[in-house]
Structures are given as C-alpha cells and as structure tokens.
Amino acid sequence: MTPRDRIVIGSDHAAFRLKEIIKHLVSTLGLDVEDVGTHSEASVDYPAIGRRVAALISTGRFQRGILLCGTGIGMSMVANRYPRVRAALCHELFAAAMSRRHNDANLLVLGGRVVGDMLAEEIVKTWLTTPFDGGRHQRRIDQLEAPLSEGNTPVA
C-alpha cells in the first residue's frame, strides 16, 4: 500500500460521531484509514489531535488526511501552522473541489456541528476524487511552501 492509498483521520469529541461515518466511507472507497483519535465522545482538547494529523502529513508519512471538530475552525488553525500542510475547511462541494484543483489541499477539515452526514460524505468523496490542476496553480503552491527567509516576508 502506498502513502496515496492511506488517509490519516482525527477529530475531537464534538465531531467523533461524524468521524466514524467518514472513516467507514473512506474504507469502502478502498483506502486504508489511520485513526489517531479521539476514540469516544469524552471531552478532549482539539489541538492535540490536530497536531497528530498535521505532523503526519508535514513529515510525509501520509499524503492526505481529514480533521474534524465542532466547526472545523480550530482544527484548521492548528493544521495550517505546519510546513507542507494545506488544510482546507470545506462546508460545501464547490470549496472541496476547488481546494484540490487550485490549492492541492492535502488536509480536509470538516465541522461536525456544521455539515450534515450526507453532505459530509459527498464533500469527502469530491475531495478525494478531484485532482490538482497544476500549471499556474503549482507556482502558487511553491510560493506557499517557500520559507519566509527567501524574500517572502510579510510587509510591515
């Protein structure tokens, strides 16, 4: 099994139920799923779970992942702090497709209290099957990945 055939997934307690649904869906699509938690609806701190998933993508152990929390906002904030992680918070299909086509998002973030089960499943399917367009978009990804020390510093 290659890293492209594997997905890492994690959630906090607020999205645990939806994570279980998404895990099952991803498995039925023929992908291996690594669940890094949480494993119940008992309260947990979302940054710990978000860091686990983001680190696995940042280091290249997984090519793609899915994070869930109540709104998706907290997990997005955690994940996008990591190099080589391009986390996209998607609550509808167009954003899911465009996050892949133009941004080569490697981490999908969902809000368990924001999207319903059926919509979440469609978002995941869209995100998993939409390819990156490359071309001019690759140049922009390269700019995202460039260290700030390479003349890429924000203007004060």
Give catalytic residue positions: 69, 102
Using DSSP's 3-state secondary structure scheme, residue 29 falls into coil
Tokens of 97: 């497709």
* CB-based contact 8:23 (threshold 8 Å): no
12-35 burial, b if ≥16 CB within 10 A, otherwise e?
Answer: bbbbbebbebbbebbeeeeeebbe
